């Protein structure tokens, strides 16, 4: 098996295709653990993982915690309301204080893009990104890759539509980085107010004028959450109009290839990004994404610890 | 002190002078310029062979942080850094604490600079009280106290009516208005230039049009009120075009840019380097090209540093939390000399933009080596090669994106009022 040479996982942009192949292959192996009666292996016994979540999160934090515990690592959860950040401590000082307690990995979510690079310069332990601002969400990107590969057996040559608020989406950036490196072609759609400049330069990316164009004959349709807390008041008239032009429903889903996958990073605003018929429908892989999330995060924690078995 | 600066290439665009000559300084004034001058007894000699001897450099846009923010910089450290960079005069912006909106603060700055400083300091007062954008500051008193211009630099005067009246009032007083051209609504929560790099880094962008619109507005107000206006730190191709067109129409507008805007692009932000975070933000390659063209064709009158010192703690944080600005006094000269090396400007044009023009625009009696004038002189060694080592910088702050850069060109000797205030 190839060697994983990164101490940190901060962005899929920093990983090669081979790095991602290795993580996905490991995640496939980890999946077996998750289906056992006793879902625990001693792989990371004696390791300490700090989940440092400066932003609200349920599924990602829980998923990382379950992943760590299934590998027998000890986990500590820190959130803003209980951390010294409320007393004005800088991220760097928080990190140095945590480091003094000798953790092996800090898993962090932070509202500022690039905060993990800042953290990684300060600490000697591994840093794993659980989402930074509008930059990247590499574990989500990898679990999306794994879920798509489960369905098609490959990632190259697929048409993947990503619809919604691309500008503010760290999921979109990680998906674009991951999928284009693996040979997929990305088609983006969303209101022009939510489409960042020159996004097509990120890789094999086409910006579409309409949602129809993006999802026409798509193998995969990834719908993004409208992040109402980030929108301000100038990016769209209201949720109703957004839903009409950029919402996925059984009718426009027919434009995609028969049996096309529908995905969403969650949490879903039902009736806005996707109708409940689609969310609950046979083409939805939303819960499969969540399931794969644990395996992918186990693989990430395993490899940043050096990939050594206890 | 009396000095004889020997065998330098004396360049003074204000007199059309460019020849190998000696400059004799007596009693703080330029006594004589000529060939083979003899040093009177007791006169110290400065060997300037192979070097440029030019009117002392003038930086019309500096943040000295004194009073109130002396932990970043103060008048002594800032003027010492200026002297090390070849500057003999600088204009300091009013965003101090308290702001330069009253006579007492102006007097404090001038007195401290006079007694303890290493170069001449010309304060810039506020356009509005406390830079609050609400009420016009007492420009008459500010001018009387020694201010050479007014500006709310760091923030625009958002209210167009107030800006119009400020321009009209300032014209009557005879004081220059310096515009920080930025539309804050368009800036929003932006932290870097909006473009491909911001897309990739996931950082909120500041569109170029935020500067262009504000430049256009203020140029139109200057035209309407027939008032002089100076646009600070021009960074976009749009602003350059707007100012070029306005000048062609006869609008009394001048402008400056800073070395980072013709040296770096927003690529410097990659790695989330907070030392590349500034306002206006670093732009894209076509903006850099337009700024260079603006310098070449005379649209851009001056090169200023926008020297903006910040403490380590204010930069060693997540990108969004970092304060805007970089220091520039000690790197401006070599970065600007590169324009000469690249054939964009002649050395004479460069000296115009770094000494004569800012003096003229601010209305200060500097920027010339005329006989009888104050002997503010910079001796430049264009061949000096050095590396930017942050720990060796004279400024109190270290926030520069040029750390580790190899530079060519430096001030060999800085003379203020006939006294050597720096020599390498």
Q: What is the ipTM of this complex?
A: 0.91
CA distance linking residue B158 with residue B147, whole number of Å: 23
Q: Whole-angstrom distance between the N-terminal and C-terminal Cα of chain A?
A: 18
> Is B180 labelled as part of a ligand binding site?
yes
Residues in chain B within 8 Å Cβ distance of A133: 202-203, 320
Q: pLDDT band at A79, cuts 50/70/90?
A: confident
Q: Does A201 contact B204 at a Cβ distance shorter than 8 Å? A: no
Rounded CA-CA distance A140/A119 in Å is: 20
Chain B CB within 8 Å of residue A113 CB:
yes
Please write the tens of the pLDDT for every residue from B92-124: 999 999 999 999 999 999 999 999 999 999 999
Flag whether A271 is marked binding. Answer: no
User: Binding residue per annotation — B155?
Assistant: no
Listed in sequence order, the residues at least 6 apart from A3 whose beta carbon sits closer than 8 Å to its beta carbon are A307
Q: In degrees, to the nearest 5, what angle opens at C-alpha A303 toward C-alphas A300 and A305? A: 110
What's the pLDDT score for residue A3? 85
- Provide the number of CB pairs (under 8 Å) joining chain A to chain B: 67
Q: Which residue has tokens 């932990």? A: B71
Which of chain B's residues have a Cβ under 8 Å away from the Cβ of A202? 199-200
8-state DSSP, B138: -
Q: How far is B331 from chain A (nearest CA, A)?
A: 26
Nearest CB to B196: which of A112, A197, A232? A197
For residues A139-162, b (16+ Cβ closer than 10 Å) or e, as one string? bbbbbbbbbbbbbeeebeebbbbb
Residue B137 has pLDDT above 60, yes or no: yes
Residue B142 has pLDDT above 70, yes or no: yes
Q: A241: which residues sit within 8 A by CB, 6+ positions away?
A: none
Residue B311 in marked binding region:
no
- State the pLDDT at residue A234: 79
Asked whether the beta carbons of residue B320 and residue A90 sit closer than 8 angstroms, the reply is no
pLDDT of residue A84: 64
Q: Can A60 be counted among the known catalytic residues?
A: yes
Q: Do B202 and A170 touch (CB under 8 A)?
A: yes
pLDDT, mean over chain B: 97
pLDDT value at position A237?
87
- Residues of chain B whose beta carbon is less than 8 angstroms from a beta carbon of chain A are 188, 194-196, 198-205, 271-272, 313, 316-321
In chain A, which among 227-246 make CB contacts under 8 A with chain B?
232
pLDDT > 90: percent of chain A: 87
Surface-to-core class of residue A223, CB atoms within 10 Å of its CB (0-12 exposed, 13-18 middle, 19+ buried): buried
Partners of B188 on chain A (C-beta within 8 Å) are: 232
Backbone φ and ψ of B48, nearest 5° = -115, 20
Residues in chain B closer than 8 A to A89 (CB atoms): none
Report chain B residues whose CB lies below 8 A from the CB of A188.
none
When pLDDT is averaged across residues B390-404 and rounded to a whole number, the result is: 97
Nearest to A137 by CA among A302, A289, A303, A305: A289
Q: How far is B87 from chain A (nearest CA, A)?
A: 35
Å between B317 CA and nearest CA of chain A: 7
Annotation says A87 is catalytic: yes
Instruction: Give the count of alpha carbons within 13 A of A28, CB side only.
Output: 12
At residue B39, the pLDDT reads 85
Output the pLDDT for position A85: 66
Cα nearest neighbour of A13 on chain B: B200
**Record: contact B319-A115, CB cut-off 8 A:** yes
pLDDT digits (tens, 9 = 90+) for A37-65: 999 999 999 999 999 999 989 999 999 99
Q: What is the pLDDT of residue A44?
A: 96
Mutate which: B183, B185, B202, vs A, most A CBs within 10 A = B202
pLDDT of residue B127: 98
**pLDDT above 90 for A231:** no
Signed CA dihedral, A296, A298, A301, A304: sign only = negative
Cβ atoms A9, A129 nearer than 8 A: yes
pLDDT score recorded for residue A1: 57
List beta partners, residue B381.
B410
Q: Please report which helix (H) or strand (E) contains residue A277, including its range.
A: helix A276-279
Examine residue B67 and say whether the peptide bond preceding it is cis (omega within 30 degrees of 0).
Answer: yes
Which residues on chain A are in Cβ contact (under 8 Å) with B196? 197-199, 201
| pLDDT reading at A81 higher than 80 | no
Answer yes or no: is A266 a known binding residue.
yes
Min distance A115 CA to chain B CA atoms (Å) = 5
Write out pLDDT tens, residues B208-254. Answer: 999 999 999 999 999 999 999 999 999 999 999 999 999 999 999 99
- Across the interface, of B194, B195, B319, the residue whose CB is closest to A114 is B319
How confident is the model at residue B47, as a pLDDT? 97
CA angle B297, B299, B303 (to 5 degrees): 100
Residue A307 is predicted with a pLDDT of: 80
pLDDT per position as a tens digit, B37-95? 998 888 999 999 999 999 999 999 999 999 999 999 999 999 999 999 999 999 999 99
Q: B22, B101, B306, B381: which one is catalytic?
A: B306
* SS3 state of residue B104: helix
Q: What is the mean pLDDT of residues A33-39?
A: 94
Q: What pLDDT score does A230 carry?
A: 55
User: Cβ contact (<8 Å) for B202 and A173?
Assistant: yes
CB contact at 8 A, B137 and B191 = no
Instruction: Quote the pLDDT of residue A227.
Output: 72
pLDDT tens for A182-191 read 999 999 999 9
Shortest Cα distance, chain B CAs vs residue A218, angstroms: 24
- pLDDT band at residue A232 under the 50/70/90 scheme: low
B306 is an active site residue: yes
Q: Which residue has the tokens 């330029």?
A: B30
Contacts of A307 (CB under 8 A, 6+ apart): A3, A4, A26
Nearest CA in chain A to B196: A198
Q: What is the pLDDT of residue B298?
A: 98
Tokens (6 digits) for A19 = 């790095």
Reported as a single tens digit per residue, the pLDDT across B168-211 is 999 999 999 999 999 999 999 999 999 999 999 999 999 999 99
With beta carbons less than 8 A apart as the criterion, state whether B339 and B317 touch: no
The reported pTM is 0.94
> How many residues in chain B?
424
Q: Is A110 annotated to bind ligand?
A: no
CB contact (8 A) between residue A133 and residue B188: no
Q: Is A193 on the interface with B (CB under 8 A)?
A: no
Q: Is the pLDDT score of A112 beyond 70?
A: yes
B210 or A81: which carries more pLDDT confidence? B210
Question: Nearest to residue A74, comparing CAs of A92, A95, A101, A56?
Answer: A101
Mean pLDDT of B351-376: 98
pLDDT at A2 over 90: no
Tell me if residue A130 falls in helix, strand or coil: strand
CA B24 to chain centre: 28
Q: A132 and B205 in contact by Cβ < 8 A?
A: no
Q: Is B260 annotated as a binding residue?
A: no
Cβ separation of B203 and A135 shorter than 8 Å?
A: yes
Among chain A residues, CA nearest to B202: A135
A231 marked among binding-site residues: no
Give, as one character, the DSSP assignment of residue A86: G
Q: Are strands A185-189 and A205-207 parallel, antiparallel or unpaired?
A: parallel
Contacts with A174 from chain B: Cβ below 8 Å: none
- Residue % of chain B over a pLDDT of 90: 99
Best mutation target among A114, A172, A176, A201 (most B Cβ atoms within 10 Å) is A114
User: Which helix (H) or strand (E) segment is A147 a member of?
Assistant: helix A138-152
B303, β-bridge pairs: B257
- Asked whether residue A225 is marked as a ligand-binding residue, the answer is yes
B179-to-B29, B40, B234, B295 alpha-carbon distances in Å:
34, 48, 10, 19
């Amino acid at each position: 098996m190839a060697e994983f040479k990164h101490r940190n996982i901060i962005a899929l942009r920093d990983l090669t295709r081979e790095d991602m192949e290795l993580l996905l292959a490991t995640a496939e192996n980890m999946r077996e653990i998750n289906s056992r009666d006793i879902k625990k292996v001693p792989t990371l016994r004696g390791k300490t993982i700090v989940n440092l979540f400066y932003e609200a999160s349920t599924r990602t934090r829980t998923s990382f915690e379950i992943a760590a515990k299934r590998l027998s690592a000890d986990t500590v959860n820190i959130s803003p309301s209980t951390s010294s950040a409320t007393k004005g401590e800088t991220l760097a000082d928080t990190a140095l204080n945590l480091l003094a307690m000798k953790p092996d990995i800090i898993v962090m979510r932070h509202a500022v893009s690039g905060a993990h690079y800042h953290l990684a310069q300060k600490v000697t332990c591994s840093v794993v990104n659980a989402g930074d601002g509008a930059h990247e969400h590499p574990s989500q990107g990898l679990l999306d890759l794994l879920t798509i590969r489960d369905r098609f057996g490959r990632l190259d040559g697929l048409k993947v539509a990503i619809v919604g608020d691309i500008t503010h989406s760290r999921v979109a950036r990680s998906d674009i980085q991951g999928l284009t490196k693996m040979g997929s072609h990305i088609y983006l759609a969303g209101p022009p107010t939510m489409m960042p400049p020159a996004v097509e330069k990120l890789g094999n990316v086409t910006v579409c004028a309409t949602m129809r164009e993006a999802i026409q004959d798509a193998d995969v349709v990834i719908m993004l959450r409208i992040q109402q807390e980030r929108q301000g008041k100038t990016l769209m008239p209201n949720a109703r109009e957004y839903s009409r032009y950029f919402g996925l429903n059984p009718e426009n889903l027919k434009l995609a290839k028969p049996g096309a996958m529908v995905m969403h990073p969650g949490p879903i605003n039902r009736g806005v990004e996707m109708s409940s018929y689609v969310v609950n429908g046979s083409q939805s892989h939303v819960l499969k994404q969540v399931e794969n999330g644990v395996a992918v995060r186990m693989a990430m924690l395993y490899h940043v610890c050096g990939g050594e078995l206890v | 002190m009396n000095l004889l600066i020997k065998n330098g290439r004396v360049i003074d665009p204000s007199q059309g002078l460019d020849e190998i000559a000696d400059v004799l300084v007596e009693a703080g004034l330029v006594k004589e310029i000529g060939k083979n001058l003899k040093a009177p007894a007791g006169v110290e000699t400065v060997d300037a062979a192979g070097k440029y001897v030019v009117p002392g450099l003038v930086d019309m846009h500096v943040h000295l942080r004194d009073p109130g923010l002396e932990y970043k910089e103060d008048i002594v450290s800032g003027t010492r850094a200026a002297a090390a960079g070849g500057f003999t005069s600088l204009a300091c912006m009013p965003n101090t604490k308290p702001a330069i909106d009253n006579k007492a603060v102006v007097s404090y700055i001038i007195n401290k600079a006079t007694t303890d400083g290493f170069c001449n300091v010309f304060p810039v007062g506020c356009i509005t009280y406390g830079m609050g954008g609400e009420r016009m500051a007492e420009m008459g008193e500010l001018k009387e106290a020694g201010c050479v211009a007014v500006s709310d630099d760091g923030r625009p005067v958002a209210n167009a009516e107030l800006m119009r009246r400020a321009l009209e009032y300032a014209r009557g007083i005879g004081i220059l208005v310096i515009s920080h051209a930025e539309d804050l609504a368009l800036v929003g929560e932006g932290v870097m230039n909006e473009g491909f790099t911001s897309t990739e880094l996931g950082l909120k962008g500041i569109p170029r049009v935020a500067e262009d619109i504000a430049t256009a507005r203020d140029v139109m107000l200057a035209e309407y009120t027939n008032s002089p206006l100076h646009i600070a730190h021009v960074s976009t191709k749009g602003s350059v075009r707007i100012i070029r067109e306005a000048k062609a129409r006869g609008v009394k507008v001048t402008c400056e840019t800073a070395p980072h805007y013709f040296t770096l692009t927003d690529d410097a932000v990659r790695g989330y380097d907070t030392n590349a975070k500034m306002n206006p933000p670093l732009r894209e390659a076509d903006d850099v090209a337009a700024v260079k063209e603006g310098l070449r064709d005379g649209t851009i009158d001056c090169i200023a540093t926008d020297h903006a010192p910040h403490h380590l703690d204010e930069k060693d944080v997540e990108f969004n939390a970092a304060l805007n600005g970089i220091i520039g006094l000690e790197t401006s000269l070599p970065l600007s000399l590169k324009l000469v090396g690249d054939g964009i400007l002649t050395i004479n044009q460069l000296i115009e933009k770094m000494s004569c023009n800012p003096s003229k625009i601010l209305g200060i009696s500097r920027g010339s080596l005329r006989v009888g004038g104050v002997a503010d002189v910079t001796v430049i060694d264009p061949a000096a090669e050095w590396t930017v080592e942050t720990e060796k910088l004279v400024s109190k702050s270290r926030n520069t994106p040029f750390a580790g850069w190899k530079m060519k060109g430096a001030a060999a000797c800085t003379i203020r009022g006939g006294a050597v205030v720096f020599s390498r």
